[in-house]
Each structure stands twice: as C-alpha cells, then as structure tokens.
Structure 1
Amino acid sequence: MKQQKLVRDIHRDFGYFYVGLIISFAFSGILMNHREHWHPEKYTIETKNIKVQLPEESQITEEFAENLGKQLGIDDKIRRHNVKKGTFKISFEKHDVEIDMKTGKGEIVAFKKTPIISQTMKLHKTTSNWWIYYSDIFGISLILIAITGTLMVTHGKNTFKKRGWKLAVAGIIFPILVLIILS
C-alpha cells in the first residue's frame, strides 16, 4: 500500500509540474501539423506587386538573392532562396518574395510574428542546448508519468495487466501503421 501511494504521488506531482508544458507542446504541435496550409507563426500586414528582370536560373545565387532583396527595399536577414516550378522564392525574416521566372512578375509579402503562437511554436524548433536537455528531461518525465499511470490501478477488471497493456500495444502499433501506409 505504501508503494502504491508513492507511485500515485510521483504520478500526480510530475503531472502537475508538466501540465503547462504538455498543453503548450500539444497546442504548438497541432499548429505545426498544419503549417503547410497556413502560416500560424506569421500574419500578413502588406502585400506589394513587383516586376523585376531575372537572370538565368543558373546565375541565381545567395548573393543575387540578397542584393535583389536590398533593391526591393528589404533590409532583414535572408533565410533561404530557391527556384521551384518556375518560381523564384526568397524567404527573409519578415518578408517573403515570389517571382515568376518567365515574366518577372511577383509579390513581396511583409509579415509580423503572431504573438504567443510564434513563441509557443519555438518549443518545437529551438536547438539551444539548455532547451534540448530540458526537453530530454521532459521526455523522460512523460515516460515516468506513463509508467506510474499503468501501476496506479492494481485491482479490478481495468488494470494494466488485464486490459491496459492491449490498449498500450495498440497505441504503439497505430502510429507505426500510419507511417508505413503514408510512406
């Protein structure tokens, strides 16, 4: 009985400690899942049509992209550039530029970070050492919460040994099947 109380106490306290982070990760994870359909991190504040003369695709370099950005009045840091399906795209910190390679017509989209959502999504993207270690501790704690949760109910028809293990195995198999089907 003493051991079961200890398991419940550990499960409860870790659950309480991480509830805010669990909600934040879940919320930002949902947003990240749908980031190709909309840009939850940023919202448009201005769109401007442009027409420029572009060189051959083989001459488009990072330096060219940076210089074009400056000519277009964009002074924030360049993130990346590419030519895909006949469209030249440049991504800056606060602007996106898309230009049709044949016509030279395109647009500049200026945007700002969406408050709170942008910061929450950084949880999934950051690579700083302290956050990686904290995330590792969080992952280990989630495992601990899961294990202590399986040990809490020891009597009756709904124990982990009688019923819960089947659901746990299904919970492991389901995402594996989805990954196999989607790949």
Structure 2
Amino acid sequence: MKQATIRNLHRDLGYFYIGLIISFAFSGILMNHREMWHPEKYTIETQSIEVKLPEESQINDEYAENLAKELGIKDKFRRQMVKKGNFKISFEKHDVEIDMETGKGEIVSFNKTPIISQTMKLHKNTSNWWIYYSDIFGISLIIIAITGALMIKVGNKTFNKRGWKLAAAGLIVPFLILLFV
C-alpha cells in the first residue's frame, strides 16, 4: 500500500470516528467505576417507609412486586434479595431497602443523569444495527492502529526499529490482567 494511501486512510477514519472514540472513551471510564457510584443515576428523593415484612422464606419476586405496588412504585422490577438483615428491591428508577427486624426503610428515587446516561447507553445497546456499526468501528480502530504504526517509514522511530517494542510493552498490561485478575 502506498504511503499516501496509508496516511489518508488513517486520517479519514480518525476524523470520521473522533466523536465515537471520545464518547466510548468517556462512557468506558464511567462504566469502569459504576460500582463505586451510580453515574447513570442521581438521587432526586428519599422517602422513609415502615412496613410489616413476612418471614424471609416467604419473600420472593412476586412479594416484592406486590409490595412495590402498595408503595406506589410503578417502574420496571429488576431484582430483590435479603442481605445482611435488609430486604432490598431494585427497580429501574427506585431502590427500596427495609430492615427485616424493624420494617423501617426508605425508597430512593432516581433520574437519569443528562449526557452521562446517554453516552453509557452506547456500551449497553444491543440492537442489531448498533452491533454491526460497532463491529465496523472496531475494525476501523484496528485499521487506525495498523496504519498509524506503518505511517513513519524513515528514521529511528519506525515500527520496525522502535515501535514494535512500545507495542509489545503496551500489550503486557492487558495480558497480565487477563492472567491474574
């Protein structure tokens, strides 16, 4: 492939995907830390409640959904569990946590964080057209990486003289993470 063609392909793919690269990088950073804080949600209201709970053996998904109706929660049910003496129910826009002994608890209502929730949606989208577009994007990133490595043909900073060492060093961290984490 000619040097000019490699440069043009590298440049044009880089320009075309710059917005998607930044969006994916930004939402990827947020996704990496989603267990420490809920970047997709922010609290808008906390409401104290007190309910009479049955024995733990009688608590199941159906009970959780019925309790939600009694509490006025109408959004999508996700899961329920009893953990460390607390009954927890998770919904799309609400979390409920109730102490099993006292029946006292709270309902936390959430809204989506503007911009952040939309960019994080890119990582979670499973529609066919998005999957194919993301596959093309992934292939384009591979092409951008290869053409970037092949662009410099003269001097001591070429891929053959120095670049392959940096590329190998860059592969060590992900390789170690795959082995030990």
The TM-score by the shorter chain falls in which range? Answer: over 0.9
Q: Which residue in 2 is equivalent to 1:40?
A: 39
Q: Which residue in 2 is equivalent to 1:20?
A: 19
Please give the secondary structure, in 2, of the residue aligned with 1:109: strand
Deviations 1:35-66 (A, max 9, x none): 11111111111001111111222221111111
Q: Which shifted more, 152-161 or 85-94? A: 85-94
| TM-score in terms of structure 2 length | 0.95
Q: Which residue in 1 is equivalent to 2:51?
A: 52
Please give the secondary structure, in 2, of the residue aligned with 1:142: helix
> Match of 2:122, as an amino acid?
L
Matched, 1:64 2:47: no
CA separation in 2, counterparts of 1:101 and 1:77? 23
Please give the secondary structure, in 2, of the residue aligned with 1:55: coil
Unaligned runs of 5+ in 1: none
CA separation in 2, counterparts of 1:132 and 1:148? 24
Give me the CA root mean square deviation.
1.3
> Match of 2:172, as an amino acid?
I
| Pairing of 1:165-180 with structure 2 (within 5 A) | 165-180=164-179
CA separation in 1, counterparts of 2:100 and 2:18? 49
Matched, 1:121 2:107: no
CA separation in 1, counterparts of 2:101 and 2:128? 45
> Match of 2:35, as an amino acid?
E
Unaligned runs of 5+ in 2: none
CA separation in 2, counterparts of 1:60 and 1:118? 32
CA separation in 1, counterparts of 2:131 and 2:55? 42
Matched, 1:92 2:88: no
> Match of 1:156, as an amino acid?
G
CA separation in 2, counterparts of 1:20 and 1:28? 12
Regions of 4+ moved over 4 Å: none
| TM-score in terms of structure 1 length | 0.94
Number of matched residues? 181
Q: Which shifted more, 35-44 or 171-180? A: 171-180
Q: Structure 1 residue 131: deviation in Å?
A: 1.1
Deviations 1:55-82 (A, max 9, x none): 2222211111111111111111212222
Deviations 1:96-155 (A, max 9, x none): 111122222211001111111101001111111111111111111100100000110011
Please give the secondary structure, in 1, of the residue aligned with 2:2: helix
Please give the secondary structure, in 2, of the residue aligned with 1:67: helix
> Match of 2:159, as an amino acid?
F
